[in-house]
Structure 1
Amino acid sequence: MLKILFSPSEGKNNGGDKEKSKLLGATDARDEILKTYNNIVNSKKEDDIKKLFGFKKFSDCKPYIVDIFNSPFMDAIERYQGVAYDYLEYQNLNEDAKNYIKQNTIIFSNLYGPIYAGDKIPNYKVKQGNNIGDIVPDKFYKDRFSYQLDLLLANDDILDLRAGYYDKFYKPNKSYTTLKFLKGGKVVSHWAKAYRGLVLKAIANANTQNIEDFKKLEIEGLSIHEIKTIKNKTEIVYNITD
């Protein structure tokens, strides 16, 4: 089966319900970082909270000052909002495509680490690159989840659609595929998020089963420029045609 690695987003949607779900991986693997986060958020120490969230004004922090263990929960794929998620247009997909994404996409959260897109999480705020107390999230999750992910993905094809920062959380030890987007011969950086969202949408709509099927997939606005492999990493370079 094809498994897709995906980035989170700084933006979140509010709401949800009280229904929880088991998260990817060992049950207690996140306990330390989640408790540390919750303690800071509910400590009433304004400077510590602003630093964690990446805000200058404490008033901006208030929507996120909640007990994450007793907050409304929502599927991760619906919780996040941002450029990639806007172009994915998850809410407009049919139920088969939605289920495909929930079961086959792994999102790398700055607080929760690797989670399935269908795992339920509360609203939270961690600025990318920030520590949580003394805990460095990328190192924390790389140490605790790399082996678990290697086992989980051992028999799957891997398409890595994450931003480069999330390589710090996990780097596959087997063959995997990444994408690059060119516009007028130049590498697209910020707007690569949009095309990652479009690619995930196309994959889900086509019920893509493996990397060979993915290479044959026609994606609106994109054409394959070249494919190159170095060691265990294959990079598909697309020209943006629209």
Structure 2
Amino acid sequence: MKILLAPSETKISGGTEPFSLETLRFKDLLPHRTQLLHAYINVIQKGDITELSNMFGLKKEADILKHKRDIIHEPTMKAIERYTGVAFDYLSYGELDRNAQTYLHDNLLIFSNLFGILRADDLIPEYRLQQGKPIGDIKPEQFYKPLLQERLDSYLEGEDILDIRAGFYDKYYKPALSYTTLKFIKDGKVVSHWAKAYRGIVLKEIAKAGVTSLDDFMKLPIERLSIHEIQTKKNRTEIIYNIDN
């Protein structure tokens, strides 16, 4: 089973290994990643505060200047450790045992506005790029969409696919294969912010259990979650969870 996850705009600083695009998986994307990375660096070097503010999604000049650096020379860490959004916080990768961490390395794909698609253990530097914002005159979702669609459909063929990304990332890749998504409701209402937390919680339990199929996933007990309904339309199945009090 392969799991698709969105990135977060917030990232932890630090790392140890030097950065090289050539170490990232999906190596045939190298020339395209190189093109987008060069565009990103060009915006950084030009140093226009208004343009940087838009690209970073930041208002305060001090915050903008903090991210105005050449990420090519920044140290790296695993993508699964670099991202620090709500889902990643609730996943608590660092607290998982080695087997669960290895499961994520092998089965989790993280979408990136800068790098397109990453394996969980791909080594990346700290960078800042707001979802939906262009890099210079390039819109990353339009840039990567035609590159990822056929590649990922081929890569994921024969796999059960669990898509727990935010809906925005359909603009990068929408499976042509059969896939499953999740929705969370509480007191009859769909939750939004807390959906990120529950995506992390679900992913954590999947990794701990080493789930290999959607059938096994649907049998997996997850604290405070119960399956309310399962809906299928065309190639998309949605599992609707009720958040229990």
Q: One fold, TM greater than 0.5?
A: yes
2:190 pairs with 1:187: yes
For residue 122 of structure 1, what is the aligned residue in structure 2? 125
Cα distance in 2 for residues equivalent to 1:218 and 1:19? 40
Which residue pairs with 2:11 in the alignment? Answer: 12
**Large movers: runs of 4+ above 4 Å:** none
Given candidates 195, 199, 209, the residue that maps to 1:196 is 199
Q: Distance in 1 between matches of 2:19 and 2:216?
A: 34
Q: Does 1:76 align with 2:93?
A: no
Between the aligned partners of 2:42 and 2:19, the Cα distance in structure 1 is 20
- Does 1:23 pair with 2:15? no
Q: Distance in 2 between matches of 1:55 and 1:203?
A: 34
- Larger mean Cα displacement after TM superposition, 185-194 or 38-47: 38-47
Residues 39-54 of structure 1 aligned to structure 2 (within 5 Å) = 39-54=42-57
Structure-1-length-normalised TM-score? 0.96
Question: What one-letter code is carried by the residue in structure 2 that aligns with 1:225?
Answer: H
CA contact (8 A) 2:41 2:70 kept: yes
Moved more, 99-108 or 170-179: 99-108
Distance 2:124 2:215 in 1: 33
Q: 2:221 aligns with which of 218, 223, 226?
A: 218
Q: Which residue of 1 aligns with 2:244?
A: 241
163-172 or 25-34, which deviates more: 25-34
The residue number in structure 2 matching 1:231 is 234
Give the structure 2 partner of residue 32 of structure 1: 35
Judge which range, 50-59 or 85-94, deviates more.
Answer: 50-59
Contact 2:229 2:241 in 1 (8 A): yes
Distance 1:108 1:227 in 2: 26
Distance in 2 (CA, whole Å) between partners of 1:44 and 1:229 is: 48
- Of 166, 169, 194 in structure 2, the residue corresponding to residue 163 of structure 1 is 166
Task: Encode CA deviations 1:80-131: one digit per residue, 9 max, x unaligned.
Answer: 1021111111111001101111221111111111111111111011111101
Q: Residue type matched to 1:96 in 2?
A: N
Q: Structure 1, residues 188-212: CA drift from partner, whole Å, max 9, x if none?
A: 1111000000000000000000111
In structure 2, the partner of 1:3 is: 2
CA distance in 2, matches of 1:187, 1:117: 28
The alignment's TM-score, normalised by the length of structure 2, stands at 0.95
Q: Which runs of 5+ in 2 are unaligned?
A: none
Residue type at the aligned position of 1:47: T
The aligned amino acid for 2:127 is Y
How many correspondences in the alignment?
241
State the distance in 1 between where 2:16 and 2:162 align. Answer: 31
For 1:229 and 1:145, the matched residues in 2 are separated by 24
Take 1:3 and 1:86, find their aligned partners in 2: how far apart are those partners? 20
Structure 1 residue 168, shift from structure 2 partner: 0.7
The SS at the match of 1:218 is coil
How far apart in 2 are the matches of 1:56 and 1:238? 37
Instruction: Considering fraction of residues, name the structure with more helix.
Output: 2
* SS at 1:191 equivalent: helix
Provide the C-alpha distance between the structure 1 equivalents of 2:32 and 2:119, rounded to a whole number of angstroms. Answer: 15
CA distance, structure 2, for counterparts of residue 178 and residue 114 of structure 1: 19
1:146 corresponds to which residue?
149
Ranges in structure 1 where 5+ consecutive residues have no aligned partner = none
Give the aligned CA root-mean-square deviation in angstroms.
Answer: 1.2
Alignment partner, residue 60 of structure 1: 63
CA distance in 1 between counterparts of 2:105 and 2:61 reads: 34
